[in-house]
Amino acid sequence: MNIGMMGGWNTDSGASFHTELIGRTWRKKGHKLAVFTFYDYAFHGTQITGEDEEYVRRCFTVEGYDSPEFDPIPFLTEEYEIFVAEDLGMLPKDSLRKIFHHIRKRAKTVNVIHDGKLSQNPSFYQFDWDAVVCFDERYRDFLVQAHEPSKLHLIPYPCYSGAEGDKLSARKSLSLPVDEKIVLAFGPSSKAVLELLPSIEELSVDYPISFLVVTKDQTAMETLKNHTPSCPLHIELREEAPNIDRLYDYLHASDALVFNKGSASHVVLSSTAFQCLSSGCPIVARNSNYVECFDREVMKFDTPVQFKEALRAIFDETEEYRITRKAAEDYARRNSADAVAEKFISLFERLLKGE
């Protein structure tokens, strides 16, 4: 099958992670893929995280860029029978609309929704999509107000299928302590973990702990550089925006990953959790709507006391820890990139048959 895909690619945004994971899986399964993505000077996200493959075309600027640019030629000359748009809110909608009739002549069109509420931008609704894909029932509940119910399709967010690694080998390769508990925070959201520092410091009285922060967020970096722990806590800073392989090295080296985002006012999910669920590193997450789609797959907390209890369970490898590891492993297998990519292919086949 020939597929054209418009969205983020090789950047650190959740939408790019979805696009890359599904797109590369299609390639692995033998489908032809053409990727249309942002220019590297005006993209959605904070960092470029990898080298572009030969099938990637950088040909437009992110929505709202001061000097917008849109090259229509790749859209008009590449071969594809399915056209997928990912995270329409970040795409240059009005420019795309000018050539959309050409795209519709050659391909069935699919919009993968990443927005957690109905957009107030009228430009969002100027496209006649053949199908609109959302991740779960929470999204469907508000999308049905603005889209034909028959065009809405539920396909879950995919999990990265990274194999578990050896903790000791990972620590040695990363020059990390081999005899301490390592608590990891990474990416732009790592600054939200800083409020939990007092709790981690309190635990460091009972456990030798390294707090590992891998980020390019300057607020987090400066705060930690100037922080003097009240207890014997080792703080390890790595100024990086790791690609997925490098991230998994850090996850394999760590005992726990902390995610501390509070609830948003609209529907959300944590792409961080889907990235990391199969790593074998338990996720300790604030009980918010970012993780409400999970049950026992992550350890949720509401208070500092519950946060410390979750870390103790991990450090001591209790029954709760083992249940979490097993639930995460099962969830990641059911919703692997292979499984989710195949659901998309099944949808594409029905569209091409006119069903």
Give tens-digit pLDDT for 56-99: 999 999 999 999 999 999 999 999 999 999 999 999 999 999 99
Chain-centroid distance, C-alpha 241: 14
The answer to whether 186 and 242 have CB atoms below 8 angstroms apart is: yes
Residues 221, 84, single domain; the answer is no
pLDDT for the residue numbered 94: 97
The answer to whether 156 and 335 have CB atoms below 8 angstroms apart is: yes
Residue 231: pLDDT above 80? Answer: no
Spatial CA neighbour of 110 closest among 81, 74, 85, 135: 85
Residues 18, 152, single domain; the answer is yes
Residues 140, 151, single domain; the answer is yes
Cα 149 from Cα 193, distance rounded (Å) = 40
Residues 96, 47, single domain; the answer is yes
pLDDT for the residue numbered 56: 98
Spatial CA neighbour of 335 closest among 296, 264, 277, 291: 277
Q: Which domain holds residue 6?
A: 2-158+336-352
Q: Which of 7-16, 173-182, 346-355 has the least mean pLDDT?
A: 7-16
pLDDT tens, residue by residue, 53-63: 999 999 999 99
Residue 204: pLDDT above 80? Answer: yes
CA dihedral angle for residue 198, residue 204, residue 210, residue 215, rounded to 10 degrees = -10
User: What is the pTM (predicted TM-score) of this model?
Assistant: 0.90
CA 332 → CA 142, 176, 186, 257, distances in Å?
Answer: 26, 27, 20, 16
Chain-centroid distance, C-alpha 83: 21
pLDDT for the residue numbered 74: 98
Residue 83, phi then psi, degrees to nearest 5: -120, 120
> In this structure, what CATH number is given to the domain that contains residue 316?
3.40.50.2000
**Structure-block tokens of residue 106:** 């050659």
Q: Structural domain tally of the chain? A: 2
Cα 185 from Cα 192, distance rounded (Å) = 9
Cα 220 from Cα 10, distance rounded (Å) = 23
Residues 127, 233, single domain; the answer is no
Cα 259 from Cα 310, distance rounded (Å) = 13
Residue 57, phi then psi, degrees to nearest 5: -120, 115
Q: To the nearest whole number, what is the mean pLDDT of the chain?
A: 94
Residue 127 CB coordination number (10 Å): 17
Residues 237, 263, single domain; the answer is yes
Residue 160: pLDDT above 80? Answer: yes
Residues 174, 151, single domain; the answer is no
pLDDT tens, residue by residue, 262-283: 999 999 999 999 999 999 999 9
pLDDT for the residue numbered 162: 77
**Cα dihedral sign for 91, 94, 99, 105?**
positive
Residue 142: pLDDT above 80? Answer: yes
pLDDT tens, residue by residue, 324-341: 999 999 999 999 999 999
Residues 340, 328, single domain; the answer is no
pLDDT mean over 214-233: 81
Residues 207, 258, single domain; the answer is yes
Residue 73 CB coordination number (10 Å): 10
Element (H, E) at 132: strand 131-134
Residues 178, 255, single domain; the answer is yes
Residue 228: pLDDT above 80? Answer: no
State the amino acid at position 338 in one-letter form: D
pLDDT for the residue numbered 217: 83
Residues 81, 208, single domain; the answer is no
Residue 225: pLDDT above 90? Answer: no
- What is the residue-wise DSSP string for 138-194? HHHHHHTTTS-GGGEEE-PPPBP-PPP--HHHHHHHTT--SSSEEEEEESGGGGGGG
In which band, very low, low, confident or very high, does the pLDDT at 323 lie, cut at 50, 70 and 90?
very high
Residues 255, 326, single domain; the answer is yes
